[in-house]
Amino acid sequence: MIPALLFAATLASQPAPATSTWCSSLAQVASTAEQARAAGVSLDQMLAGLQELPPDARPAAAGTIRAIYTTTPMPPAAAGLAARNECEKQNYG
């Protein structure tokens, strides 16, 4: 299964975006995107997988993926933690 479909399946089963679980899912998206980038999966391929997500999940996931593909490399764990922290900051102040 390509990485985009893997995280799409994970996010599709998650609760609404306002919960901390949602932020954890974005952290998983960030980690998967970093791994896919390192494996040579293109940004377009990753973004194509977003069609499997619920419509309200797509913007956050797309932003996370674009950030991973356009910033300097960082380890997947650091990318996931950064995405979760940003998500929680935006949702919970």
Q: Compute the mean pLDDT over every residue in the chain, rounded to the nearest whole number.
A: 72
| All structural domains of the chain with their residue ranges | 26-92
The answer to whether residue 17 scores a pLDDT higher than 80 is: no
- Digit-coded pLDDT (tens) for 43-83: 898 888 888 877 888 888 898 888 888 876 655 566 666 77
User: Token pair of 73, please?
Assistant: 């490399």
**Residue 26 burial by Cβ neighbours in a 10 Å radius (0-12, 13-18, 19+):** buried
Query: What is the rounded distance in angstroms from the CA atom of residue 56 to the CA atom of residue 66?
Result: 17
Q: How confident is the model at residue 19 (pLDDT cuts 50, 70, 90)?
A: very low
- Percent of the chain residues past pLDDT 90, beyond the cut: 1
